């Protein structure tokens, strides 16, 4: 009898953890999740849709795993939440399509990046945003939302984003399907990025360098060259605290989760850093 498969939709506040991947230091998301699974009788190694770095949050992270014989995702969903630490939770556990894999079945992801461009950061948002006015390479010329939106729009398309990611990620063409800026109120904005794949630190370097260019700290011709020919630039890696993995996208025939669950995730905490507004 084959061990049954499960697909878990989890969320987390990244400031509590040292990134996703298990490592010598702790706690990490993977270590905390696998420890909780063992405590409820599932000694499994989880396979995520992707790894997030230290301080990065996730509204939707998806993991694949194998359960013990006789177990089921539905039964696991009743046992697991009570064992998870503060800052890590479960939205949905589903039996996936036989060929489903959390990482290799994904056809794209949406990230959101929260940045304060004016006013004062609200206390409830402080752990989850980058305050442009406090960054030494941006202050005192805080970028305007209009200029930031214009620069981000230039990045849309299929291109070599090598100027915006670590050399440890393979150099290849990636498609940024959309890049928009939304106002959340009180001077708080979010960048919404959707693409087929993202290299390590790509979102943080892309947003940070757009902010730097908008603030006048990087010439626009260098920003354009980095997008058009992959020219390296003295860019800016935006703070991890502002970054949120919002959603992982799968082909309809492989998606373990329903449209209703995606629109209103069960068990997702209210308040920052998660908000239910549609993509901009």
Q: Which residues are catalytic?
A: 53
What is the three-class DSSP state of 48?
strand
Q: Quick one: which H or E segment has residue 243?
A: strand 243-249
What residues contact residue 6 under an 8 Å CB cut-off, 6+ apart? 64, 65, 66, 67, 73, 76, 93, 94, 95, 96
Residue in this structure with the two tokens 């790509």, named with its chain if needed: 202
Contacts of residue 111, defined as CB under 8 A and 6 or more positions apart, other chains included, come to 192, 193, 194, 198, 203, 243, 244, 245, 246
DSSP reduced 3-state for 121: coil
CB of 160 closer than 8 Å to CB of 150:
no
* Contact assessment for residue 108 and residue 177, using Cβ atoms and an 8 Å cutoff: yes
């Amino acid at each position: 009898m084959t061990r049954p498969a499960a697909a878990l939709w989890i969320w987390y506040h990244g400031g509590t953890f040292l990134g996703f991947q298990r490592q010598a230091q702790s706690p990490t998301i993977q270590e905390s999740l696998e420890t909780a699974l063992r405590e409820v009788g599932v000694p499994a190694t989880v396979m995520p849709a992707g790894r997030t770095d230290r301080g990065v949050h996730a509204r939707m992270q998806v993991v694949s795993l194998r359960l013990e014989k006789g177990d089921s995702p539905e039964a696991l969903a009743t046992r697991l939440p009570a064992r998870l630490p503060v800052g890590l939770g479960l939205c949905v556990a589903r039996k996936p399509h036989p060929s489903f894999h959390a990482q290799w079945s994904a056809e794209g992801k949406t990230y959101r990046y929260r940045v304060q461009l004016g006013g004062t950061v609200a206390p409830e948002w402080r752990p989850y945003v980058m305050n442009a006015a406090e960054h030494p390479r941006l202050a005192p010329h805080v970028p305007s939302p209009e200029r930031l939106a214009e620069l981000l729009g230039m990045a849309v398309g299929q291109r070599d984003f090598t100027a915006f990611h670590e050399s440890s990620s393979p150099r290849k063409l990636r498609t940024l399907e959309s890049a928009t800026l939304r106002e959340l109120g009180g001077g708080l904005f979010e960048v919404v990025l959707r693409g087929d794949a993202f290299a390590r630190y790509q979102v943080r370097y892309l947003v940070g360098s757009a902010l730097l260019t908008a603030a006048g700290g990087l010439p626009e011709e260098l920003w354009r060259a980095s997008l058009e020919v992959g020219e390296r630039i003295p860019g800016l890696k935006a703070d991890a605290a502002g970054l949120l993995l919002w959603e992982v996208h799968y082909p309809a025939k492989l998606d373990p989760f329903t449209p209703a669950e995606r629109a209103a995730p069960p068990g997702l905490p209210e308040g920052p850093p998660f908000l239910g507004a549609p993509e901009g």
